[in-house]
Structure 1
């Protein structure tokens, strides 16, 4: 099938997924509400104490400093939450038999999964804009240049793309929607065991080693450096490498599972 038909069919599947978002706005609201609640909880309940222990602030930081520190981690959690929703929507298509039906139709096979991924990336963009605006409303201030912000947007899109391919595979592999809603939960929990909420140097040795070498830590460190206008150092390449690896493995896994779906 030609590239023209693949693009056309992918656009059709994207439109289908966007219509689902419009028809079920409660899911989109929950995807935005959860990160905002975490932001409020950590800034106003724990922010005063945790901010005082931030490194690089002589005499200790304050709640505003902690808001700047925590916002990148909250944005990564937002991306992970949307990816979790993609696993649920993919599993719903699997359990209702619509994917089996699509496989009998004269459409580009890649378009079915691509529609889910592109729809999730657009949903992520909406959620990230809302959460970022809320952070600024709370007092987040940045010295980043427009180029830094462009880099931050690109990084978030790359993370969303990679995590979405992974959760599409989880949705295809799940035997029920309930399973699909639980399997990707580790993606929302891992940012808690990273540099997202406290510096990894403050953790016990074993936990610190795990936090420093798991994928979300370089992603969060890079995003924090970009939105604050500080050097990204080696974390940038680690973040890109992790995203490329996750995206490749997620795509290959999803493609294999999709091709094994029986036609009806």
Structure 2
């Protein structure tokens, strides 16, 4: 009887330990396929270089008057590029989730004594690690180009908080999109609008320079307050309280809705696997 109980205890799901195992699995995938990580980091860096050195002088002059230039434009677009970095890694998360759901690995997991929540947790925590690496590299490139943020300790904490909330929101959203996708190809295409939304916002030009209809959309879409909050916090001026509150609210809503949606999709598809 004791032996039976001991075996059952050993075979029982352990959510924390199982989640750590799945996180390790995601990180091992990153190490085995470094080209994907390089591509995810390279895309925002290429955009940063393109906009700073091709459009920077003209756009910077328009933003800051005759004394403006590349340095001013670099400071203006860095928050948008950081957001696009988060979105780029989130896109890879959708691909990873769709790969698991379409290759039969989830059916294999169902035959093992592991916590069901650990599969999605592994993707989410692994995405946090990958996003942190990507953000550090992209931000280092921005500093190398001449970006000099004026944020104090409180501003930096705010930047880290906004980026963490954004990562959580977009990761769970793309987890849900990956679960919804029927093929890996569709999972790679569906979240692409996340990378494009900063262009239709305050990421690269002020929203008041846009036509009325486009300006209305740009001002009220979720990414604009996130970009404005990051820009204000990095600038080191008065805290952009309204933008921070709006950014936090959007991130919380997207996270909660996406989490519930992802759990429902995973439970439904896993039961059919």
Provide TM-score, normalisation by structure 2: 0.92
Match of 2:221 among 191, 214, 221: 214
1:34-113 matches, within 5 Å, as: 34-54=43-63, 57-113=64-120
Shift of 1:263: 5.3
Report SS of the residue matched to 2:182: coil
Mapped partners of 2:120, 2:157: distance in 1: 27
Quick check: 1:142–1:228 contact (8 Å CA) kept in 2? yes
| Structure 2 residue corresponding to 1:240, chosen from 248, 262, 269 | 248
After superposition, the CA RMSD in angstroms is 1.4
Conserved in 2, the CA contact under 8 Å of 1:9 and 1:111?
Answer: yes
Q: Is the 8 A contact 1:13 1:116 kept in 2?
A: yes
| 1:136 shift after superposition | 0.3
Q: Deviations over 1:24-62 (max 9, x none)?
A: 0000000010000000000000011111111xx353411
Choose 93-102 or 158-167, whichever is displaced more: 93-102
Match of 2:259 among 224, 228, 251: 251
- Are 1:25 and 2:37 an aligned pair? no
Tell me if 1:6 matches 2:15.
yes
**2:160 matches 1:153:** yes
What SS is found at the alignment partner of 2:100?
helix
Aligned length: 260
1:126 matched to which residue of 2? 133
Deviates more, 1:188-197 or 1:230-239: 230-239
Structure 1 length normalisation: TM-score? 0.96
Q: Distance in 2 between matches of 1:160 and 1:102?
A: 26
Change (3 A) 1:160 1:125: same
Question: Would you say the 8 A contact 1:75–1:128 is kept in 2?
Answer: yes
Deviation, 1:139, is: 0.3
CA–CA distance in 2 between the matches of 1:158 and 1:79? Answer: 11
**Whole-angstrom CA distance in 2 between matches of 1:154 and 1:235:** 13
Whether the 8 Å contact between 1:90 and 1:171 is mirrored in structure 2 is yes
Preserved contact between residue 103 and residue 263 of structure 1 (Cα < 8 Å): no
Give me the whole-angstrom Cα distance separating, in 1, the residues matched to 2:241 and 2:248.
Answer: 12
Measure the CA separation in 1 of the matches of 2:141 and 2:48.
Answer: 9
Q: Deviations over 1:126-185 (max 9, x none)?
A: 000000000000000111112211211121111011100000011111010000000000
Is the contact between residue 104 and residue 263 of structure 1 (CA under 8 Å) also seen in structure 2?
no
The list of structure 1 runs, each at least 4 consecutive aligned residues, that deviate by more than 3 angstroms after superposition, is 57-60
